[in-house]
Structure 1
Amino acid sequence: MKAKPVWKTDHQSQLSLLPPSYDDFVPQNHPVRIVNSIVNQIDISFIEVTYKGGGTSSYHPRALLKIMIYAYLRNLYSSRKIEQALGENIHFMWLSGNIRPDHNTIANFRSGKLKGKFKKIFNQVLLLLAQQQVLNIKDIYVDGTKIEANANRYTFVWGKSMANSRERIEKQLKELWRYVETVYAEEGQRPNGPDNFDAIDPEEVAKTIDQINKALKCKKTDSKVKQKLNYAKRNWPGNIAKYNSQQEQMGGRNSMSKTGPDATFMRMKEDHMQNGQLKPGYNLQACSKNQFITNYTLAQTTTDTTTLIGHLEEYKESFGHAPDTVTADAGYGSEENYTYLEGENREAFVKYNYFHKEQRQAKKQPNPFHPEQLHYNLEKDCYYCPMGQQMANIGSYKKKTKNGYLQTYTRYQASNCSGCPLRVCCFKAKGNRIIERNHTLIRLKAKAKEKLLSPEGVKHRKQRCWDIEAIFGNIKHNMNFKRFMLRGIDKVETETGLIAMAHNLNKLAIMS
């Protein structure tokens, strides 16, 4: 005879003499306890003073801060979903003390009360972890990643397009005035012309159009010219004002989104259309140690090269001292960055362009005609070509980078290349060969190469790969944070801090 199954009984309707506590349902090693313990130890008086006295009671900012950090740790970024979790998730209920702020309160706290203040909270937590010897903040690994902004992907403004539009308006103003001169020339007269035709100031453009209209007022004018002047009067001053406003918002950038002016169009690795489409985003710069984020900054530039100095300066401002060692990839290897690190007397392991290519080609026969292979005589300040001919110094010039840094290039020219049997292999330009050399950069690259190839340099280069790049992989794929929720660089900075804090505390929970 088949045995009857025995069912476990439930106690859904049974009353308890001593109801259970929320604490009974939260394991001792759960990440929510880490968040609660850490936030209880930090000073948030600078947030408390922003609340006005009187009126109805307010939710304590410490409780709201715990909720926000734990929500990001649990991949909840929407204020409505956080509100829902506060009524359904036992861990949120325990952490919040069963308070239930609505989504507006949560959103206002994140984008309002925390704006411009979260970095101070983040630094306090880092120093606390350093005191507990969980991590050290003296050796850092720097890298950057691009994260999409909360902005329309298809409403963009391009700096080059605005410059072309200004040039077109300026050109058409000149053409209209030439037409005026033609009309007056037929009558043997000469009109008084405008002071300038620069399409920079909307009032000046309107004044120029009025002068053209006034000059043609009593003259027989082509109907198409009249239509063009009417169109210009209605649109051009307004367009110039719009371009000026957009240019001011863009600053030194080449692009921006109309719905998120702080965001710059960048090429992302996540390409949903598979066509290399540019998206509005921010360049997140972070440094780490043992996969803990030790500092973060947001850049609006598409490349990492110009971000290193600002990132390290903010690090010094946060902790009162510079890091002992800095390790970064080839995206940061510029003369300006090397000069800064040398001036700061920092131990730096920063690659430069073609570093890996040089290592791969080290076993191959080098090109004897490449400028780097030519012999340089320091005393005479000259180079010697493969035929032994002296290449004398013919002067130098300065070149300014996009960041405003001045580089010095020196030019060297051979005295007579005609009839040289190696000329075909050496160079193809007419005349005698000229090479340009940046001696400062050559020296700095040689110094960087020596450090990178040292045992310590090899160790740091290997660690950088799994240290900082693993963090970006965790944030984008495990935490599924690929697009910011907020708009405006100040609010986005707060959100960056929240995701960085969530990553660190989750890492701490795993280690516990």
Structure 2
Amino acid sequence: MNFKHYNQRQITLLPYSFDDLISKKHPVRVVDQVVESINIQPLLKAYSKEGNPAYHPKMLLKVMLYAYMTNTYSSRKIELAIRENINFMWLTGMTIVDHNTINRFRSNKLKDSFKEIFKQVVLMLASEGLISLKQIYIDGTKIEAQAGRYTFVWGNSIKTNKAKMLTQLEELWNYTQSISNDDDPNPEPPEFKEISKEVIQKTVEQIDAKLSGNEKATSKAKAKLRYIKQNFEKNLQKYEEQEANLGERNSYSKTDPDATFMRMKEDHMQNGQLKPGYNAQISTENQIIVNYTLHQNPTDTKTLQPHLENFKETYGEEVFKELEDITADAGYGSEENYDYLEKQQLTAYVKYNTFDKEQDKNYQKEHKPFSKENLHYNQEEDYYVCPMGQKMHKTHESKKTTEAGYTQHLSHYQAKNCEGCPLRVQCFKGKGNRSIERNHNLERHKQKIRELLTSEKGLQKRKQRTADVEPVFAQLKHNHNFRRFSLKGIQKTELEFGLMALAHNLRKKIAA
């Protein structure tokens, strides 16, 4: 039989070159070319001039980027690829780097300079005409943390436990007062309003003085006092430390205290349960990620301003001023955000929460003409007109603070006589005369947003948003299997997400 020559141990006159074995259009060459063309001076500041020579950061940066481009996220798997994969061998020049060095580079060396590296690559893509940095599409997704799914601390549980401690102290205090002798001096009772170390110490001291030597005291009461002495101060200190770690959050994971429990769409039990994670926000243009941030708050509304401020900090005032408009879904629509965008002179194609409903003809039929949104308003004389033509004059103004700490100014209006009105059953079901509450600033923003979104450009923006930013998350999560972080802590996870974002941008550069 005829076979082509095969000799595994054939000696060659000239050794093979890795450069000959890698095609000219291979993605690994793009990684090499990009890293060679950027300024890595900020990265060099993370290294010391003393001690043994370190592996070159340029080489390690190339390895990290190519690893994330090829869905290799584990430091041990990256080490294995350096030993076995010809593309990694070409990047390292056959230098063997262990997984500890790779992990230290990713976790420590890159953290202060990576955002600058990311910015340089984005500006490079802008210079190539792939993006303009004048319009962005914003969206967010929840990504699971590298933390135990059932090791949680809840803010409400802490409040409940502290309240129980206070109740137990008060009950034991009242019991000692009930069994005390009439000739015993009555100390000033503690104030059982808020639990504290001082309240515990003062109450225990007084209860101990009453129970010791008192024949009426039961063994159960004395055991309760012993338990309070042994545990209450220690437990209170633990709760205070947990509250300090919670900050404004309502939960965190014991195995990654920076992670907050959020409701995930994808979960291992397929029932939408809460899992520890981070809220990843991205801005895209032409499906290229131009900015990314990571947040501990699951609500998108509270992430818009810090995300845009991070954009300004990364690219500078000049680039931020050239930004013309942003497009986002209804999760970002709030009075506070609209005020901020208006102040920044940004055209906001950002839906409010009822915009999509308003486009439904059935919704319009059901809510006209009785809903307060559709009542006629006379701006000059500041009154509303009810469906029967009765004027509803302003009765007073009030303020309301949102969960985010933003103060809203509300105006209240009331009709003078609704008794006997034939439309009363359809108009409202409360007693007395109908009253309404209106936020004029928010209504002004809604009207402006409504006009923008229903314009020809607004329709195009709404369609483009679903085709621009949402497919990016689909690429990261489903095509590249990035559903869970490998590192812990918000600083390290943000860096890991940044590596993923930059790898995505390089893939888009190759495909362009």
TM-score (norm 2): 0.96
Q: Secondary structure at the match of 1:58?
A: coil
Q: Deviations over 1:21-80 (max 9, x none)?
A: 001111111111111111112222222232223432210111111111110111001000
Q: Confirm whether residue 475 of structure 1 aligns to residue 476 of structure 2.
A: yes
Aligned mate of 2:294, from 281, 298, 301:
298
C-alpha distance in 1 between matches for 2:419 and 2:185 = 57
Deviates more, 1:30-39 or 1:358-367: 358-367
Correspondence for 1:104 among 96, 100, 106: 100
The answer for unaligned runs of 5 or more in structure 2 is none
* Aligned residue identity for 1:339: D
| Whole-Å separation in 2 of the counterparts to 1:478 and 1:174 | 59
TM-score of the two chains, using structure 1 as the length reference: 0.96
Long gaps (5+) in structure 1: none
For 2:466, what is the secondary structure of its paired residue? helix
Hey, what's the Cα distance between the residues in 2 that align with 1:484 and 1:65? 19
State the AA in 1 paired with 2:356. H
Instruction: Tell me the SS of whatever aligns to 1:279.
Output: strand
Which range moves more in the overlay, 382-391 or 258-267? 382-391
- Give 1:217-228 correspondences, 5 Å limit: 217-220=212-215, 221-228=217-224
- Does 2:39 correspond to 1:43? yes
Secondary structure in 2 matching 1:436: strand
Question: Partner letter of residue 256 of structure 1?
Answer: Y
Matched position secondary structure for 1:262: coil
Question: How far 1:325 sits from its partner (Å)?
Answer: 1.2
User: Which amino acid in structure 2 is aligned with residue 115 of structure 1?
Assistant: K
Alpha-carbon distance change, 430 to 200 in structure 1, aligned in 2, over 3 angstroms: same
Q: Deviations over 1:149-188 (max 9, x none)?
A: 000000101111111111111112111221122123x526
C-alpha deviations, 1:110-140, integer Å up to 9, x for none?
Answer: 1111123211111111112212223222210
Partner of 2:115: 119
Distance (whole Å) between structure 2 residues aligned to residue 506 and residue 194 of structure 1 = 70
Corresponding residue of 2:13 = 17
Do the aligned residues in 1 keep the contact of 2:249 with 2:260 (CA within 8 Å)? yes
Instruction: Give the C-alpha shift of residue 279 in structure 1.
Output: 0.3
2:208 aligns with 213
Task: Name the counterpart of 1:140.
Answer: 136
SS of corresponding position for 1:70:
helix
Equivalenced residue count is: 506
Deviates more, 1:149-158 or 1:214-223: 214-223
Give the structure 2 partner of residue 464 of structure 1: 465
Does residue 360 of structure 1 match 2:357?
A: no
Q: What is the rounded CA distance, in whole Å, between the counterparts of 1:372 and 1:337 in structure 2? A: 21
Q: Name the residue aligned to 1:249.
A: 245
Alpha-carbon shift at residue 9 of structure 1 (Å): 2.6
> Does the residue aligned with 2:441 lie in a helix, a strand or coil?
helix
Distance 1:463 1:25 in 2: 41
What are the Cα deviations for residues 443-465 of structure 1, in whole angstroms up to 9, with x where unaligned? 10000010111111111111111
Does structure 1 residue 31 correspond to structure 2 residue 32?
no
Contact kept, 8 Å, 1:181 with 1:190, in 2: the verdict is no
CA distance in 2, matches of 1:207, 1:23: 78
What does residue 341 of structure 1 align with? 341
Identity of aligned residues (%): 53
Residue 281 of structure 1 is matched in structure 2 by 277
Q: 1:256 Cα shift?
A: 0.5
The match for 1:328 is 328
1:369 corresponds in structure 2 to: 370
Does the 8 A contact of 1:326 with 1:350 survive in 2?
Answer: yes
Distance 2:475 2:372 in 1: 43
TM superposition shift of 1:208 = 2.5
Q: Residue by residue, what CA displacement relative to the aligned partner does 1:400-452 show, whole Å, maximum 9, x if unpaired?
A: 11221111111111212222222222222222222111111001000001011
Q: Indicate the larger mover: 300-309 or 11-20.
A: 11-20
* CA–CA separation in structure 2 for the residues paired with 1:27 and 1:211: 84
Q: Does the CA contact (< 8 Å) of 2:266 and 2:272 recur in 1?
A: no
Cα distance per residue 1:349-370 (max 9 Å; x no partner): 1111121111122785243211
**SS where residue 245 of structure 2 aligns?**
helix
1:129 is matched with 125
Q: CA deviation at 1:203?
A: 4.7
> Which residue of structure 2 lines up, in the alignment, with residue 406 of structure 1?
407
RMSD, matched Cα = 1.6
Question: 1:499 is matched with which residue?
Answer: 500
SS of equivalent residue, structure 1 residue 424? helix
